[in-house]
Amino acid sequence: MSDPHFQRVALIGIGLIGSSLARVIREKGLAETITISTRSAPTLARAEELGLGDRYCLSAADAVKDADLVVVSVPVGASEEVAKTIAPHLKRGAILTDVGSTKGSVVSQMAPHVPEGVHFIPGHPIAGTEHSGPDAGFAALFQNRWCILTPMPDTDAGAIEKLAAFWTACGSNVDTMDPQHHDLVLAIVSHLPHIIAYNIVGTADDLQTVTKSEVIKYSASGFRDFTRLAASDPTMWRDVCLHNKDAILEMLSRFSEDLSALQRAIRWGDGQALFDLFTRTRGIRRSIIEAGQETPAPDFGRQAAAPGAGE
């Protein structure tokens, strides 16, 4: 196993993910120094107030000079701009990674700018909450969650191992796959559920004018569970939709077909079809609990504010 420790880490973007990384790096002693950079002065000032790093700079170019590990944690639509800004200043031998929720698009935005001698290894921790900004992060976010790395075919194996060791030290289990496969998998496990949640909450909001406050009042009957996902960061999710378009459209058309079949079963009173589907899906939840990715506690385990309860 490689040494997970880095001399100098630069975190570009210090929201939920960046600040969780800063906290876990500090807690586990995974770097000698942490340099933090973000585009706005108020966010940088807040990161400093929270004591998340050792150095703070508005210039991402300055932040990455001398860094052995650079982690870009910004909305995926900003990846190219950030890559262009930092590329000329990256140290030879440094590892450059990101945490973006889409991978094919991040690779095409960033890879062309990465200089020779820098190890570019895109990544995605499958951990998150609906909260944003430097206050939202916590050190345990990545604990027992998966982190997917999508290295290029010619990426140095030692660098991949080192980054994998780093994520393992952060508490994650690490998988590698190609970016296209990542995008397809995430379209169904993450992107589609968020889109469905945004849609159902939007529909209910339209109805609210008819049913007054009843949607809110009786929300514990199921609706409430969608509102957590639908409260996720609008910028992040706009970018996910725009940057994983093909895989999301593919999954949406599968979803629409299955929804039509469900609609037909309800219309024709096909109780057996409904019962069979609902039994199958209940089994999926059981498997997720058995895999340690959810707790069996009532209220979806959220009374205990389960860390990393979803992306």
Binding residues (CB under 6 A) for ligand NAP: these are: 13-18, 38-40, 43, 73-76, 78, 81-82, 99-101, 124-125, 128-129, 132-133, 233, 236, 311
- In the complex with ligand NAP, the residue whose CB is nearer, 9 or 14, is 14
β-strand 146-149 against 123-125: which pairing, if any?
Answer: antiparallel
* Minimum CB–partner distance for residue 181 and ligand NAP (Å): 17
* φ, ψ (nearest 5 deg) of residue 97: -135, 175
Q: Which residues contact 90 (CB under 8 A, 6 or more apart)?
A: 64, 67, 70, 96, 114, 115, 118
5 versus 190: smaller Cβ distance to ligand NAP: 190
**Beta-carbon-side half-sphere exposure of residue 12 (alpha carbons within 13 Å):** 30
The residue (of 74 and 159) whose beta carbon lies closer to ligand NAP is: 74
Considering the complex, what minimum distance in angstroms separates the CB of residue 34 from ligand NAP?
A: 14
Closest CB to ligand NAP among 5 and 44? 44
- What sign has the CA pseudo-torsion 26, 31, 34, 38? negative
- In the chain the first and final C-alpha atoms are separated, in Å, by 28
Min CB(106)–ligand NAP separation in Å: 8
Q: Which two tokens stand for residue 140?
A: 């345990």
Which is closer to ligand NAP, CB of 119 or CB of 145?
145
Which CB sits closer to ligand NAP, 99 or 195?
99
Distance CA 124, CA 200 (A): 27
Write out the E strands in the chain: 6-12, 31-37, 55-57, 69-72, 95-98, 119-120, 123-125, 146-149, 173-176
For 306, residues 6+ apart whose C-beta sits below 8 A from its C-beta are 294, 295, 300
Closest distance of CB 5 from ligand NAP, Å: 23
Q: Shortest approach of ligand NAP to residue 136 CB, angstroms?
A: 6
Contacts of 79 (CB under 8 A, 6+ apart): 72, 98, 100, 105, 106, 109, 110
Q: Is the C-alpha dihedral spanning 167, 169, 173, 176 positive or negative?
A: positive
Shortest distance, position 304 Cβ to ligand NAP, whole Å:
19
Least distance (Å) between residue 100 CB and ligand NAP:
4
- Nearer to ligand NAP by Cβ, of 76 and 192: the residue is 76
